[in-house]
């Protein structure tokens, strides 16, 4: 009888709940506490019909490889905000369609909690809401990414205690001091993973006279990216890069070591250091004392950069800790908030 009732309930279900980390580089969707979609924030669109061709991982495989007059492969989000509204709507529809569905007689109404950068303007927040509504959302909550990350880490954000989170995503670095369920102070800078990638592209062009694509630069970052020129016994092997010589167009093959990548990323990491210092200067003394005691949490893809936590700890003189699965902290936090929206006054409607 229970099996029949479950099938009946699924068939006539009118509600669906999704937690979404709409990231510049990756989009993660959680349903019922489980990650059901984790794919690149990329969409391929037919420029003639304006219809979506592919989305997510399959679209990323086409990135920088497709003829633009045949297929436009886009990253709709740049610097943490929607750069192409129509493409973002297509992408959200496509990724939501990848969520496993039961058999529904009617299209379910979707309640969503979406992570957004803490430095978003009202116009940017409205763009996210509109995209979500056009993608099928009916009851939409927005949650600042540092708050979502703190919840995802497992911090008690409603406690009368200060915690600082530095979320280094693809387009923005979000720095927030959290206490009593709210963001007490925050800073958002447009310097993050995409800037690291651009730094590597520029460095390879200037230093080695070789052209590398955005995807190749990203692979270099993953394989030998570092914030320190000395990683002691934890140094990665050199990464072999293939690309055309800028002058002769002849193929080049050269090894790249982590020390030279650390040098080329230095300016961008210094910007993040300054932003952290500024955020600490603007933190009330009582909360500052809590942060010194609790340490500062690093989340987002940038937290995986080798030696970053050590470099920031040496600079700020406060311990930096990398969260478990830093790429998923924001998504898990939005999922937890979705389960009990009344417990988190920080949710915006």
**Whole-angstrom distance, CA of residue 6 vs CA of residue 289:** 52
Separation of CA 337 from chain center: 18
Closest CA to 321 of 291, 302, 292, 296: 296
- Per-residue model confidence (pLDDT) at position 9: 46
Above 70 in pLDDT, residue 200?
Answer: yes
Q: Which residues contact 20 (CB under 8 A, 6 or more apart)?
A: 27, 28, 29, 30, 92, 112, 113, 114, 115, 132, 331, 334
Task: Supply the pLDDT for residue 14.
Answer: 57
CA distance 20 to 99: 12
Is the pLDDT score of 291 beyond 90? yes
pLDDT at 307 over 80: yes
- Name 136's Cβ contacts closer than 8 Å, sequence gap at least 6: 93, 96, 107, 110
Phi, psi at residue 273, to the nearest 5°?
A: -60, -45
**DSSP E strands, 206-313:** 239-244, 251-256, 296-299
- Condensed to tens digits (0 to 9), the pLDDT of residues 99-156 reads 876 544 445 678 889 998 887 888 888 888 888 888 888 889 999 989 999 999 999 9
Share of the chain above pLDDT 90, in %: 55
Residue owning tokens 């529904």: 104
Compute the C-alpha angle 211/212/216, nearest 5°: 170
pTM of the model as a whole: 0.87
Q: Residue 296: which of 117, 167, 143, 156 has the closest Cα?
A: 167
């Amino acid at each position: 009888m229970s099996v029949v009732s479950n099938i009946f309930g699924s068939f006539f279900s009118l509600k669906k709940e999704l937690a979404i980390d709409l990231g510049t580089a990756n989009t993660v969707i959680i349903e019922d506490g489980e990650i059901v979609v984790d794919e690149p924030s990329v969409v391929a669109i037919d420029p003639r019909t304006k219809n979506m061709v592919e989305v997510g991982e399959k679209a990323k495989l086409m990135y920088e490889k497709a003829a633009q007059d045949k297929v436009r492969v886009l990253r709709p989000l740049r610097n943490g905000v929607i750069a192409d509204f129509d493409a973002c709507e297509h992408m959200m529809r496509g990724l939501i369609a990848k969520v496993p569905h039961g058999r529904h007689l009617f299209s379910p109404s979707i309640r969503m909690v979406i992570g957004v950068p803490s430095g978003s303007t009202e116009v940017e927040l409205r763009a996210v809401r509109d995209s979500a509504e056009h993608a099928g959302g009916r009851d939409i909550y927005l949650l600042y990414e540092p708050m979502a990350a703190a919840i995802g880490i497992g911090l008690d954000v409603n406690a009368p205690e200060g915690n600082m989170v530095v979320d280094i995503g693809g387009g923005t670095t979000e720095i927030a001091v959290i206490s009593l369920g709210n963001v007490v102070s925050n800073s958002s800078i447009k310097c993050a993973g995409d800037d690291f990638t651009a730094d590597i592209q520029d460095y390879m062009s200037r230093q080695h006279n070789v052209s590398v694509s955005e995807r190749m630069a990203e692979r270099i970052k993953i394989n030998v990216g570092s914030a320190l020129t000395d990683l002691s016994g934890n140094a990665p092997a050199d990464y072999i890069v293939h690309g055309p010589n800028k002058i002769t167009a002849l193929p080049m093959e050269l090894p790249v070591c982590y020390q030279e990548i650390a040098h080329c990323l230095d300016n961008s990491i210094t910007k993040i250091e300054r932003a952290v210092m500024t955020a600490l200067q603007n933190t009330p003394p009582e909360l500052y004392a809590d942060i010194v005691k609790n340490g500062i949490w690093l989340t987002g893809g940038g937290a995986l950069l080798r030696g970053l936590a050590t470099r920031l700890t040496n600079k700020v003189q406060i311990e930096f800790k990398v969260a478990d699965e830093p790429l998923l902290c924001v998504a898990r936090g939005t999922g937890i908030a979705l389960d009990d929206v009344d417990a988190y006054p920080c949710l915006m409607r």
